[in-house]
Structure formats: C-alpha cells, structure tokens
C-alpha cells in the first residue's frame, strides 16, 4: 500500500501523522511511505529523518494525495484537503464530525473511506487513539488555565497554588474521564484546591480511591455543578460522549454567577464544547471574554506540545495503521470490531450512528459497509 502523510495545514498545528519510526515499520512491512516535505518540522523531524527510515519525500500535497492509497493525518482535513480525497482512498485521522456538518458533507461527497481515531474502541470500553491526546490536553488544561487567569490576559489575577498566607485558586473539573483525571492531577500538583465532577458513581469511587488526597470528587448533578462553577476561579470542561456533540453543561446565564475574571478552559471544544458560550479558537489567538469570563477554547490543544503529542499518538496508532496497510481496510475492520467502530464514512455513506443523530443524516451500519 502507498501510505501518504501530508503536512498539517490547520492554523498553529505542529503535529504530524507519521513519525520516522512508524515510517520505518511500514516500510519493513513492504509498504511505500510518502511524506510531504516539511511535514515533520513542527515536531522536530527532518526530511532526512524520514529518508533514513525508507520514506519518499513528496514536494506537494496535491501530488501526495493523488498518489497515496491511505492518507494518515492528525487533524480533520481542511476544505482544500477534502477536495483532494477520492473514493477508494482511506483517510485515517481525527475527524470530530458531529459538530462539523461541512466536513461531513464533503467527506460523503468525496466517497472516501474515513476512519476516525476518536471512535476506535478497545475491549475495556476505552478509546485508545483518543486517550493519548486526552492525556496531553488534560495535563495542559491547568497550565493554560493558570496563564488565562493572569491579570494581563484579562483574568482574575489569581495564582493557582497561592502562597503562604494566601489561599490557592479553586479549580472545578467537569468530567472525570481521561482528560478530567489528568487535569485534576496536574492542578492539584500545582497547589490548587481541586474538585472533579462526574456522573458515574464507579468512576467517582475510583477517583476517591486513587486521588482522594489530591482532589475532591463530587457527583455532577445540575445543582452541584452550578454551585461549584459559581465558586470557581478556573473551570475545565472535560466531558465526552464518544463521536457525538458535547452536551452544554454551563449556560450563558450561569456566567453571571461566576467571579469576574474567572477562566474557562473547554477541552471538549473539538466536539462543539460543553459551555454554551464556547467557540473554537487557535493557539495564535486563544482567549476571548464573554460577560467578563475568560474563555480558552483552542481546538487543537496538544499541538502546543507537538513533539510529545506526535510521539504519544504514534505509539497508539501504529498497530492499527499496520493492520489497515497489511490487510486492507475491509479485512482489517472485519477482523477487529474495535477498528470497525472507527469507520465514519464509506463510499458516500455515513457509518457512525452518533454523528447521524447529531446531524440528521441516515446511517449505514458499518458491517453492511464491509459488503460494499
């Protein structure tokens, strides 16, 4: 198979879909690896690194898309990239289709077979290709939240960990999954007074058992959430419904109950955000204010630490990448129901139920797509 890795073109996106180590593995399996020139620069990989791994460097994205059987990326394809996709080609990347009707429409029109990292599952009910970036984003959230709280950035001017004689900031994390756990752990490590909210009692028991000395855990009823948000200096949104649009858990009206200059970090912005007032921003222009509350809603947070993120993502995606290349997408998905769960579009059909419900589009069962 010809595996193509283009340079990411989303603003301030420095990650790359394929590391030189992954390229070497694919070449060892008998595949041809095509890498757009400069694709790895933002993550600290040179064209020479890829050449040493056995890859071929391609001068333009147009040539790469036209030549490759499978496109491997990080972020969802931008409009100009979607125009280059074709039926019979495989796209393996993050998609986040539920809040993005334009992208969904373009992928269906192209006929491409699109497999989304974020909906691939494992036998424990987890999301193994989303988890590495959730870990990164969770650990970054208190860091960028602390920056947003600085007075020069429009925040309250509160130090997350306080100092002797002055109490720490109050941090509320909505969602106790991978993002929330890592956010709570880092915020507590920075000295903040941290509370993590979740609706799963088993998860709350786990958090209490493992992190009970580091942060508090509270059931995420609407009342508890409203009370804690009103008291918080920093609120981190860390909720996820796999493949679906994020629920709006904090309304604009609730901003009026918050402390002036308090900060919101919405890690769920890739799936539309969990605050009513959230809108996607970039690393270049990451924050904005609504009713005196600072919002940090960068849609590709892990891109800020591109090398760490690329290496972590590459570790997770490599086994699936090799399966798709070695067997072809149909056989790989037939052999592995967890990989089949990643199938979002094929030959003009939407194949992921949560996206269909979010966008009002009919869905073809993934198993039926294998027969087409």
Q: Is 299 annotated as a binding residue?
A: yes
Q: How far is the C-alpha of 64 from the C-alpha of 58, rounded, in Å?
A: 6
Told to judge if 123 belongs to the known catalytic residues of this protein, a careful annotator would answer no
178-189 and 131-148 helices, crossing angle to 10°: 40
Q: Is 15 annotated as a binding residue?
A: yes
Q: Is 372 annotated as a binding residue?
A: no
- Tokens 């402390």 — which residue? 259
242: number of Cβ within 10 Å:
18
Q: Is 123 annotated as a binding residue?
A: no
Q: How far is the C-alpha of 126 from the C-alpha of 146, rounded, in Å?
A: 29
Q: Is 269 annotated as a binding residue?
A: yes
201-211 and 178-189 helices, crossing angle to 10°: 30
Q: Is 120 annotated as a binding residue?
A: no
Q: How far is the C-alpha of 244 from the C-alpha of 12, rounded, in Å?
A: 25
User: Who's near 15: CB < 8 A, 6+ residues apart?
Assistant: 8, 42, 43, 74, 75, 300, 302, 303, 306, 309, 310, 313
Told to judge if 21 belongs to the known catalytic residues of this protein, a careful annotator would answer no
Q: Is 134 annotated as a binding residue?
A: yes
Q: Is 240 annotated as a binding residue?
A: yes
Active-site residue identified among 193, 270, 295, 346: 270
Q: Is 357 annotated as a binding residue?
A: no
Q: C-alpha dihedral over 88, 92, 97, 102, to 10 degrees? A: -50
Question: String of b and e for 317-355 (b: at least 16 CB within 10 Å)?
Answer: bbebbbbbbebebbebbeebebbbbbbbbbeebbbbebb
Q: Is 224 annotated as a binding residue?
A: no
Q: How far is the C-alpha of 335 from the C-alpha of 227, rounded, in Å?
A: 48
Q: Are 177 and 240 in contact (CB under 8 A)?
A: yes
H or E element that contains 53: none
Q: Are 160 and 192 in contact (CB under 8 A)?
A: yes
Active-site residue identified among 96, 295, 346, 349: 96
Q: Is 86 annotated as a binding residue?
A: no
Q: Is 196 annotated as a binding residue?
A: no
Q: Where is the binding site, in residues?
A: 15, 75, 134, 198, 203, 239-240, 267-270, 279, 298-301
Catalytic residues: 96, 270
Q: Where is the binding site for substrate, in residues?
A: 15, 75
Q: Where is the binding site for NAD(+), in residues?
A: 134, 198, 203, 239-240, 267-270, 279, 298-301
């Amino acid at each position: 198979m010809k595996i193509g890795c283009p340079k990411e073109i989303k603003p301030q996106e420095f990650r790359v879909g394929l590391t030189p180590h992954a390229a070497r593995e694919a070449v060892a399996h008998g595949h041809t690896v095509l890498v757009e020139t400069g694709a790895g620069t933002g993550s600290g990989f040179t064209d020479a690194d890829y050449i040493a791994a056995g890859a071929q460097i391609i001068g333009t994205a147009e040539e790469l898309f036209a030549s490759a059987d499978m496109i491997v990326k990080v972020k969802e394809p931008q409009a100009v990239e979607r125009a280059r996709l074709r039926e019979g080609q495989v796209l393996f990347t993050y998609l986040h289709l539920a809040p993005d009707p334009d992208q969904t429409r373009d992928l269906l029109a192209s006929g491409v077979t699109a497999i989304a990292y974020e909906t691939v599952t494992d036998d424990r009910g987890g999301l193994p290709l989303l988890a590495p970036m959730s870990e990164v984003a969770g650990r970054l959230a208190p860091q960028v939240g602390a920056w947003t709280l600085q007075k020069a950035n429009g925040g309250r001017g509160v130090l997350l960990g306080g100092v002797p004689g002055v109490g720490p900031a109050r941090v509320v994390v909505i969602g106790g999954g991978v993002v929330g756990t890592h956010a709570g752990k880092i915020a507590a490590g920075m000295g903040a007074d941290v509370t993590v909210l979740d609706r799963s009692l088993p998860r709350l028991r786990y958090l209490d058992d493992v992190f009970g000395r580091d942060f508090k855990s509270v059931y995420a009823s609407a009342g508890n959430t409203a009370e804690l948000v009103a008291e918080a200096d920093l609120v981190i949104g860390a909720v996820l419904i796999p493949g679906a649009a994020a629920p709006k858990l904090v309304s604009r009206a609730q901003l009026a109950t918050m402390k002036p200059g308090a900060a919101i970090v919405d890690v769920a912005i890739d799936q539309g955000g969990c605050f009513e007032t959230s809108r996607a921003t970039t690393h270049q222009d990451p924050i904005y204010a609504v009713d005196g509350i600072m919002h940090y809603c960068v849609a590709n947070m892990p891109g800020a630490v591109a090398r760490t993120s690329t290496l972590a993502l590459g570790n997770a995606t490599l086994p699936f990448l090799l399966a798709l290349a070695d067997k072809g997408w149909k056989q790989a998905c037939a052999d592995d129901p967890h990989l089949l769960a990643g199938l979002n579009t094929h030959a003009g059909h939407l194949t992921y139920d949560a996206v269909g419900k979010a966008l009002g589009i009919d869905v073809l069962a993934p198993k039926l797509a294998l027969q087409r």
